[in-house]
Every structure is written in structure tokens, then in C-alpha cells.
Amino acid sequence: MDSLHRYLVLLLFFTLTGCVHVTDIALPQTPSTARQPGVVEIVAKGMQFEAPAEVPAGWNTFRFFNDSAMVHFALLEKMPPGTGLIEQQEQVAPAFQEGMDLLNAGKQEAAMKAFGKLPAWFADVEFFGGAGLVSPGNVAETTVYLEPGTYLIECYVKTGGIFHSFNPSPALYGMVAEFTVVPNDSRRAPPKADWTLSVSGVEGIRFEKPPMSGRQVVEVYFADQQVHENFVGHDVHLLRFAEDTDIASLVSWMDWRSPKGLDTPAPAEFVGGVNEMAAGSRAYLHLNLVPGRYAWIAEVPNAAGKKLLREFSIPSEQ
């Protein structure tokens, strides 16, 4: 089966089976009809984003509805001047997919050459967080500060070995959307945090107190940043364990370079997080948690060995 045929079969399957379930962890379950100041709503439908074309600069809360049958995230990328969706889809997405295909075929050296086709401007893309991994039917809210410019929303989770951000059909785009951040005079303040979580490539994931049951706002602080073996910086995602969740499989799944890495279905129930940001950056994660067993994890190879996996539990009596 060629790549295009495989992609179309998968897309048809997910469209026909795209019924959405609602978990007890989710926030508001449907997009609102009236826009709220400071709230930007993004909806994942199948392998496409629905998002506004313009967003005001400053602090914005991105409310991400996963109205699809597969796990997604919404990475926010500030593009270098003169680049946008077209350049990303024509010059970046194909290089990553070619490299991934070669990795799946066991051709490491050829894969590195494919990744070497990435344009020079790709090194100047800035990452501004955005909603982390979110399972089907869940809603995630993440508050970040955006500067004026051209941005992309991207999901590079895979299905059948194909990145969602890549579409084998040259006539169609992958799971990437462009929006413009326009200057804004409003001086909106960030939300008040209930506690702080720190993410570091040196010290790992640290938090001052265990998460609690119910609604809470977590300040996520990026103490440092570095490029890991999978060519991305560290981030943080929150998951709730299922009965059959296996830690080793979970850690392996968080490395997109492996054939099954970041490939649907996910090995756990993901409820959000904060994607990669520069050192010193802060974002705010809005949670509504119920009792259960959870973990924070970064999308890096060997997350456990790097202290970028932290488990915790919320007892029923809390």
C-alpha cells in the first residue's frame, strides 16, 4: 500500500469512527459561540485544526478541544520573517517525513541526510508552548504570552508512521494552521497560580507540592532548555494511568524517532501540558483533576533516566 493510499484509508477510518467521549477530567466540553476576551479556542477535527486567523498579542489562554478520535497536541511556533504555513509544508514537513520513513526502514545514515534537507531558517523558529498531548474528547487550557508575528499551530503525532503535520497528497496540507498575532494595547495579566512546576534538562521535573483534586492553575517554568537526541527541546505533558499502562512502553512512546513513537493510539489518557518553550519562559496550565494515578512526562528519549518523568497520585479521600 503506498503512502497516499494508507493515509486516505486512515483518514476515512478516523472520520467514520470519530465519536467523541467525555472524561471526568475535561474542562468546558464544547466551543463557545461568543468569543471571550483573552481566550483563543482551537478545535482538532480529524487531522485538521480549526483556529482564528488573528490573535491579540500578550497573555492568551488557548482552549484546545480534541474533537477527534486520536491524541493530538497544539504546538505554537513563531515563524521567522518571510515564512509561514506554505514554507513549513513545502520545506519542513516533507524532510521530517522522509527521515521518518528511512528510520522505520532501519536506514539511520540515510535518515540523517534527509533531516539535513531542513532549510536554514528552521533553526530560527521560536517555540511558545501551547497545549500538550490531549486524548480524544478531552479539553486542555494553557495560558501563554505571545509577541506580534506569524505563528503556526502544529501537531506531529503520527498515525501509521505518518506525521499528522505531513500530508502525502501535494494538494492538501497536514495538521498545521497559521495565525497572526497582532499588536494589542490591553495589559492583561497572567492568571494567579496555585503552585509551580519546574522543567529542566539538568534537574528534571520538580514541583513544590503534589497536585490536588479539583480545579487549579499550575505555573510551568522552563528553568533551562536544550536540544535532545530527538532534535526537540523538553516540554511537559500530564497523563492519567489506565489499568494497562506500562511505564517502559510509555517512555519509549515519547520518542518520535522509534517506529511506534508518538504513533496513535497513545498508551495512556493524556489531559494536557505545555509544549516546548525557551529557557526562562513561563506558561500556566489550567487543570481539573479527579482522584487517580498520574504522571508528568517530557517528550524526550529516556525521560525516566533524565528525571523528566514524575509519577504522583491523588487519593480518593482528598
How do the pLDDT tens digits run along the chain, 318 residues long? 333 333 333 333 333 333 333 334 444 455 554 467 799 999 999 999 999 999 999 999 999 999 999 999 999 999 999 999 999 999 999 999 999 999 999 999 999 999 999 999 999 999 999 999 999 999 999 999 999 999 999 999 999 999 999 999 988 999 999 999 999 988 899 999 999 999 999 999 999 888 999 999 999 999 999 999 999 999 999 999 988 899 999 999 999 999 999 999 999 999 999 999 999 999 999 999 999 999 999 999 999 999 999 999 999 875
- Is residue 32 in some structural domain? no
Cell representation of residue 279 = 529557557
Q: Count how many domains the chain has.
A: 1
Q: Are 59 and 186 in contact (CB under 8 A)?
A: no
The Cα 72–Cα 136 span in angstroms is 8
- Is residue 184 in some structural domain? yes
- Is residue 30 in some structural domain? no
- Is residue 187 in some structural domain? yes
Residue 82 region by backbone torsions, left for phi larger than 0, else alpha for psi between -120 and 50, else beta: left
Q: Taking the CA of residue 274 as centre, how many other CA atoms within 13 Å lie in the half-sphere pointing to its CB? A: 28
Q: Are 20 and 44 in contact (CB under 8 A)?
A: no
CA angle 66, 227, 49 (to 5 degrees): 20
Q: Supply the pTM of this predicted model.
A: 0.88
**pLDDT of amino acid 34:** 47
Q: Got the DSSP string for 255-293?
A: -TTSTTTTBSSPSSEEEEEE--B-TT-EEEEEEEE-SEE
In Å, how far are 5, 13, 68, 105 from 207, measured between CA atoms?
Answer: 46, 40, 32, 40
Cell representation of residue 237 = 505533558
Question: What torsion do the CA atoms of 103, 108, 113, 119 make, to the nearest 10 degrees?
Answer: 50
- Is residue 28 in some structural domain? no
With H, G, I as helix, E, B as strand and everything else as coil, classify residue 248: helix
The Cα 143–Cα 290 span in angstroms is 21
The Cα 63–Cα 55 span in angstroms is 13
The answer, yes or no, to whether the previous bond of 211 is cis (omega within 30 of 0) is no
- Is residue 135 in some structural domain? yes
Q: pLDDT for 128-180, tens place per residue?
A: 999 999 999 999 999 999 999 999 999 999 999 999 999 999 889 999 999 99
Burial of residue 71 (CB within 10 Å: 0-12, 13-18, 19+) is buried
Q: Are 295 and 241 in contact (CB under 8 A)?
A: yes
CATH number for position 18: 2.60.40.420
- Is residue 137 in some structural domain? yes
Name the residue range of residue 167's domain: 3-23+37-314
With b for 16 or more beta-carbon neighbours within 10 A and e for fewer, the 135-168 pattern comes to bbbbbbbbbbbbeeebbbbbbbbbbebbbbbbbb
How many CB atoms lie under 10 A from the CB of residue 100? Answer: 23
